């Protein structure tokens, strides 16, 4: 047995090295290479690794350490510096991608629990793959790359929340879905995050001082890994995923010196265990079942590519980036990786999802990691193709939104103080919190419509306030908005303000109604989306025609 353990771990690390070298030579993500190695040496292929139990245990260590280092990137101090545009793009991108994933799972006929896992698998980008590709393409110094990585870190926070929520599903019966227990688990997850952060803030300075005084690298590494694993075990004790606790532990480290020391010492362990995780994931794939995943692949891969580019690019463009920069951001977020695999691993190991979804995830991640660098390198061509097929009135409406929101979401480029936008962002944050409450109540009290409807009425009040703040803000900063860039003549500011405010109202209303009624069937979500698209087309056409008439006069 001891010999087998040494051999299996040794062969995994040995072949993983050559897989990484080969994929780097090809300009691809090493994740794809690791998965191929795992598929080849697994018990369902060559059988070099027969017992995957040890690798699965080591894989959990990799996940915990990965989440800890992602938490380092999302430290509280760094969070304070996140730009308004990161908040806007991140929220916009996550909500719409989750919606696309949920509808896709519904159309394929999956049960609710499986649908939610599938949504998580296909909705979130891979910050690790994106960062690696940006570094290899030498794009890290650009403005869009700075915002892109900010959005990825912001998305990481959503990912860990989703991980905590999905972990509550693994205890559920495979057929039934105890909504009350799941709702309690979700609230417990949020409570754990809040309490942990509050306690951490109170004692973090003492912890950092203690860490800084440790001279021995050996003792420092042992203490840190011990703290990370104990925090992860505490999360498990509370009914959450171990990775959730590790993420929060990393988030509380706000010392640059300690962070740098962690990267020099503990980071190597993370890289080794993550290599084992990706290869271990591959060993559980069955090459005989891969052809059966092709129908899902043929549907979801094109859907993911198109929806991600459309959603992320439009979000970046609306926040004030140029069309070229927006498409660079959108095409850079196609990569899927660690989160998809973690969600699939969690669901499959607990019996929450069938083998077909697990097998699909492996093929899906492999394809997306190969497609991502190609799309990033051709973002300029994508922008040109999109410009050719987009009608003039839609270009005009999108540019109006972009010019208007740029001084608000990119204030540093327009000389506007961040503090002047805090009321809008505060109300928007409360709006998102109520949306989460609506989702919970509509899930828990499906037969009691008055509860989510009451919350929707609260949302309408918040939407009205957001509309008011936005309208006032636009009029105050008109001198910073270059409307002459697209008008080349006189323009009607009141008409533009009304257009922007109406679009915001419609979008937020659709999201609120969708959150309230999503549990009654995906057809409601599709109907709401169709209504919004029709409204969008009509108001863009109206404001475009009105502006042309004014110029002609």
Torsion of CA 220, 194, 101, 349, to 10 degrees: 50
Q: How far apart are the C-alpha atoms of 156 and 130, rounded to whole Å? A: 12
pLDDT of residue 541: 93
CATH fold of 53-388 reads Na+/H+ antiporter like fold (1.20.1530)
**Chain segment 342-385, per-residue pLDDT in tens:** 888 888 877 788 888 888 988 898 888 788 888 888 888 888 88
Mean pLDDT of 528-550: 87
pLDDT of residue 14: 92
Which structure tokens are listed for 94?
């996550």
Q: Say if CB 100 and CB 119 are below 8 A apart.
A: no
Q: How far apart are the C-alpha atoms of 100 and 529, rounded to whole Å? A: 10
The H or E element spanning position 408 is helix 392-409
Residue ranges, comma separated, of all CATH 1.20.1530.20 domains in the chain are 53-388
**Exposed / middle / buried, residue 540 (Cβ in 10 Å: 0-12, 13-18, 19+):** buried
Q: Percent of the chain beyond pLDDT 90?
A: 5
Give 457-511 as a DSSP string: HHHHHHHHHHHHHHHHHHHHTGGGS-THHHHSS---HHHHHHHHHHHHHHHHHHH
How does DSSP classify residue 86? H
Q: How far apart are the C-alpha atoms of 160 and 164, rounded to whole Å? A: 6
Q: Is the pLDDT of residue 326 over 80?
A: yes
Q: Is the pLDDT of residue 391 over 60?
A: yes
pLDDT winner (highest mean) among 269-283, 296-310, 330-344, 353-367: 296-310
List all residues 6 or more positions away from 252 whose beta carbon is below 8 Å from its beta carbon. 71, 75, 76, 197, 200, 201, 204, 207
Mean pLDDT of 172-199: 61
Question: Of 29-33, 172-176, 437-441, 539-543, where does mean pLDDT reach its minimum?
Answer: 172-176
Q: How far apart are the C-alpha atoms of 102 and 107, rounded to whole Å? A: 9
SS (H, E, C) 328-370: HHHHHCCCCCHHHHHHHHHHHHCCCCCHHHHHHHHHHHHHHHH
Q: Is the pLDDT of residue 50 over 90?
A: no
Q: Which residue has the higher pLDDT, 233 or 53?
A: 233
Find, among 245, 278, 244, the residue nearest to 128 by Cα.
278
Find, among 153, 167, 147, 88, the residue nearest to 125 by Cα.
153
Find, among 303, 291, 434, 259, the residue nearest to 359 by Cα.
291
Q: Supply φ then ψ for residue 94, to 5 degrees.
A: -65, -45
Give 112-172 as a DSSP string: HHHHHHHHHHHH---HHHHHHHHHHTT-TTSHHHHHHHHHHHHHHHHHHHHHHHHHHHTTS
Q: Which residue has the higher pLDDT, 446 or 439?
A: 439
Mean pLDDT of 206-234: 83
* Residue 418 CB-half CA count within 13 A: 9
Mean pLDDT of 110-117: 84
Q: Which residue has the higher pLDDT, 383 or 489?
A: 383
Give 282-303 as a DSSP string: HHT--TTTGGGGHHHHHHHHHH
Question: Of 74-78, 255-259, 298-302, 499-503, where does mean pLDDT reach its minimum?
Answer: 74-78
Find, among 364, 238, 236, 347, the residue nearest to 308 by Cα.
364
Q: Is the pLDDT of residue 241 over 60?
A: yes
Distance between start and end Cα atoms, the chain: 87
Q: Say if CB 453 and CB 468 are below 8 A apart.
A: no
Which structure tokens are listed for 236?
């498990």
Q: Is the pLDDT of residue 489 over 50?
A: yes
Which band of pLDDT confidence, cut at 50, 70 and 90, is reported for residue 539? very high
Which structure tokens are listed for 441?
């109540």
Q: Is the pLDDT of residue 419 over 50?
A: no
Q: How far apart are the C-alpha atoms of 549 and 553, rounded to whole Å? A: 6
Which structure tokens are listed for 69?
């280092």
Q: Percent of the chain beyond pLDDT 70?
A: 82
What distances in angstroms separate CA 229 from CA 206, 247, 248, one per listed residue? 20, 11, 12
456-465 burial: b if 16+ Cβ within 10 Å, else e: beebeebbeb
Would residue 378 be called left, alpha or beta, if left means φ above 0 and alpha means ψ between -120 and 50 degrees?
alpha
**pTM for this one?**
0.75
Count the Cβ atoms, other than its own, within 10 Å of residue 111: 13
pLDDT of residue 125: 84
Q: How far apart are the C-alpha atoms of 292 and 107, rounded to whole Å? A: 18
């Amino acid at each position: 047995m001891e010999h087998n353990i040494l051999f299996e771990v040794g062969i995994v690390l040995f072949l993983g090295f050559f897989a990484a070298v080969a994929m780097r030579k090809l300009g691809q993500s090493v994740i794809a290479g690791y998965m191929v190695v795992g598929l080849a040496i697994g018990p369902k292929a060559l059988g070099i690794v027969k017992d995957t139990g040890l690798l699965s245990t080591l894989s959990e260590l990799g996940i915990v350490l990965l989440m800890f280092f992602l938490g380092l990137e999302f430290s509280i101090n760094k969070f304070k510096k996140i730009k308004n545009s990161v908040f806007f793009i991140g929220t916009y991108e996550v909500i719409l991608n989750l919606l696309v994933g949920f509808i896709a799972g519904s159309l394929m006929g999956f049960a609710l629990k499986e649908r939610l896992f599938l949504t998580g698998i296909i909705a979130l980008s891979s910050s690790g793959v994106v960062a690696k590709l940006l570094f290899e393409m030498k794009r890290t110094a650009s403005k869009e790359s700075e915002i892109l990585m900010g959005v990825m870190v912001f998305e990481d926070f959503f990912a860990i929340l989703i991980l905590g929520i999905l972990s509550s599903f693994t205890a559920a019966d495979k057929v039934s879905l105890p909504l009350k227990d799941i709702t309690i688990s979700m609230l417990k997850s949020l409570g754990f995050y809040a309490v942990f952060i509050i306690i951490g803030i109170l004692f973090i300075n003492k912890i950092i001082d203690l860490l800084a005084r440790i001279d021995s690298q050996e003792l420092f590494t042992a203490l840190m890994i011990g703290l990370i694993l104990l925090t992860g075990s505490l999360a498990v004790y509370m009914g959450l995923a171990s990775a959730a606790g590790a993420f929060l532990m990393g988030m509380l480290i706000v010392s640059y010196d300690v962070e740098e020391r962690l990267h020099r010492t503990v980071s190597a362990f993370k890289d080794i265990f993550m290599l084992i995780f990706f290869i271990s994931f591959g060993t559980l794939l069955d090459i005989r079942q891969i052809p059966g995943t092709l129908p899902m692949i043929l549907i979801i891969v094109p859907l993911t590519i198109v929806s991600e580019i459309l959603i992320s690019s439009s979000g970046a463009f609306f926040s004030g980036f140029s069309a070229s920069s927006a498409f660079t951001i959108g095409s850079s977020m196609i990569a899927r990786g660690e989160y998809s695999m973690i969600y699939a691993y969690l669901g499959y190991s607990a019996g929450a999802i069938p083998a077909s979804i697990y097998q699909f995830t492996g093929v899906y991640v492999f394809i997306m990691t190969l497609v991502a660098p190609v799309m990033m390198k051709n973002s300029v061509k994508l922008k040109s193709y999109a410009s050719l097929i987009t009608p003039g009135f839609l270009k005009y409406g999108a540019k109006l939104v972009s010019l208007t929101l740029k001084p608000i979401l990119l204030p540093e480029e327009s000389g506007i103080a961040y503090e002047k936008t805090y009321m809008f962002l505060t109300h928007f944050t409360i709006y998102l919190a109520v949306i989460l409450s609506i989702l919970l109540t509509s899930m828990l009290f499906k037969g009691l419509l008055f509860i989510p409807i009451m919350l929707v009425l609260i949302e309408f009040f918040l939407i009205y306030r957001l509309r008011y703040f936005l309208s006032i803000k636009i009029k105050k900063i008109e001198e910073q908005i270059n409307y002459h860039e697209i008008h080349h003549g006189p323009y009607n500011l009141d008409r533009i303000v009304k257009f922007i405010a109406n679009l915001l109202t419609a979008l937020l209303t659709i999201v609120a109604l969708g959150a309230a009624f999503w549990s009654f069937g995906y057809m409601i979500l599709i109907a709401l989306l169709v209504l919004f698209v029709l409204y969008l087309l009509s108001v863009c056409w109206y404001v475009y025609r009105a502006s042309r008439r004014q110029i002609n006069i």
